[in-house]
């Protein structure tokens, strides 16, 4: 029995004259994510993308799992591909739906007939297929208003397609359709969620992490890389930039007021992240900050941090509370890794009494009292790159 996957594109359908461009990007992303399963044929028709295997014995369960994490897809369904012959459709549909119909009490049939040469109208097709299913599964009842299962039959140019329940997709926009950005990623709960949320809006991600050995361990770095790999199940592969940050943090500790440690550290991180982003023609920075969550995330502290930025800084979590962020982290699978007890560089040099209402001029004077530029250059020269993927 021949099978395919039908994909609905959702938000892309609203893009008007630019829709074709977004569809091309989505098809490219689907092809890339499925290539490990074997060769597939991908075609577009109206608001539907059809994925059919070119090889036998491809793992449809694993393919469906991969498709469920591709941004730009609103819903998808595994579907029977059969001849445009009513008797064949009824016979094969009865067999194909045996994993769904025995477990519901009510159903209805919807028919879509884009091939107007097919000798049965949509109402006739619904009646014929519905009758065959009732005969094969006598416990069923028809409920056209609130069915437990909707069986859809589509008559297209070359074949007929029959499927049951649709599976919700990841939603959002295809990755890379909105540009490219750098996410500042730590080993905590927030920044992987921020990365996920901006990838969902179509950004291709790079990730930058600041490592401070010997204050942070190799296990801490492995933790962050694992978080990026989990996010990459949704975003696609992520270019990972690891910055040696020890020398800069030690200089901050030795030359700057303690209450400004975190603010100056964050400003220098933003500066390095911007310079690295410019090298790779990235267009924005992403952080996991939530307003008021910690001292460095007050309005005044965020303003001091943003004063060094000359590109957009996206903070998708800014209005969320911790429980909302944790809920998303559990949903995408990063939470259990995020809570592993390996410290990142942000927690190593935390001041005892951080400034919550900083004055920008005072912070700039404290930062400029020491020449950080040579340290910034050495840190950038020491950046290592790794391509991370699921």
Tally of CA atoms within 13 A in the half-sphere of 292 that contains its CB: 4
The rounded distance, in Å, linking the Cα atoms of 224 and 209 is 8
Q: Report d(CA 134, CA 181) in Å as an integer.
A: 53
Please check if 275 is assigned to a binding site: no
Question: Is residue 288 annotated as involved in ligand binding?
Answer: yes
> Left (φ > 0), alpha (ψ -120 to 50) or beta: where does 10 sit?
left
210 is in an annotated binding site: yes
377 half-sphere exposure, CB direction, 13 A CA radius:
4
| 107 assigned ligand-binding residue | no
* Calpha distance 228→43 (Å, rounded): 31
Lookup result for tokens 């991908």: 42
- Is residue 376 annotated as involved in ligand binding? no
* Residue 209 annotated as lining a ligand binding site: yes
Give yes or no for a contact between 174 and 15, defined as CB atoms under 8 angstroms apart: no
Tokens of 231: 């996010």
CA dist., res. 316 & res. 312, Å (int): 12
C-alpha 48/C-alpha 7 separation (Å) is 5
Q: Is 25 annotated as a binding residue?
A: no
Binding site, annotated residues for ATP: 184-185, 209-210, 266, 288, 297
Binding site, annotated residues: 184-185, 209-210, 266, 288, 297
């Amino acid at each position: 029995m021949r099978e395919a996957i039908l994909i609905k594109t959702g938000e892309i359908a609203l893009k008007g004259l630019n829709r074709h461009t977004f569809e091309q990007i989505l098809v490219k992303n689907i092809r890339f994510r499925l290539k490990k399963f074997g060769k597939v044929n991908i075609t577009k028709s109206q608001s539907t993308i059809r994925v059919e295997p070119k090889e036998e014995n491809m793992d449809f369960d694993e393919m469906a799992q991969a498709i469920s994490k591709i941004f730009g897809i609103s819903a998808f369904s595994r579907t029977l591909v059969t001849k445009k012959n009513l008797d064949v459709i009824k016979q094969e549909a009865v067999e194909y739906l045996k994993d769904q119909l025995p477990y519901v009490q009510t159903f209805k049939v919807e028919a879509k007939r884009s091939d107007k040469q097919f000798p049965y109208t949509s109402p006739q097709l619904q009646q014929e297929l519905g009758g065959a299913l009732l005969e094969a599964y006598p416990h069923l009842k028809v409920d056209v208003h609130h069915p437990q299962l909707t069986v859809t039959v589509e008559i297209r140019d070359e074949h007929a397609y029959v499927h049951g329940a649709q599976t919700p997709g990841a939603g959002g926009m295809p990755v890379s359709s909105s540009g490219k950005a750098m996410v500042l990623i730590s080993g905590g709960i927030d920044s992987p969620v921020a990365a996920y949320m901006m990838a969902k809006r179509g950004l291709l991600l790079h990730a930058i992490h600041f490592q401070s050995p010997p204050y942070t361990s190799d296990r801490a770095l492995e933790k962050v890389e694992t978080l990026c790999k989990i996010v990459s199940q949704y975003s696609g592969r992520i270019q990972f930039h690891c910055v040696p940050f020890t020398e800069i943090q030690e200089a901050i500790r030795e030359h700057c007021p303690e209450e400004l440690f975190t603010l100056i550290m964050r400003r220098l991180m933003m500066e390095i992240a911007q310079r690295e982003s410019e090298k790779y023609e990235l267009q924005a920075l992403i952080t996991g900050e939530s307003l008021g969550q910690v001292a460095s995330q007050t309005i005044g502290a965020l303003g001091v941090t943003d004063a060094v930025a000359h590109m957009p800084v996206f903070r998708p979590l800014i209005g969320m509370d911790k429980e909302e962020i944790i809920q998303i982290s559990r949903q995408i699978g990063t939470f259990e890794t995020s809570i592993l007890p390996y410290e990142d560089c942000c927690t190593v040099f935390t001041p005892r009494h951080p400034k919550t209402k900083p004055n920008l001029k005072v912070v700039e004077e404290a930062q400029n009292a020491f020449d950080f530029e040579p340290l910034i250059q050495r840190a950038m020269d020491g950046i290592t790159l790794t391509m991370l993927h699921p």
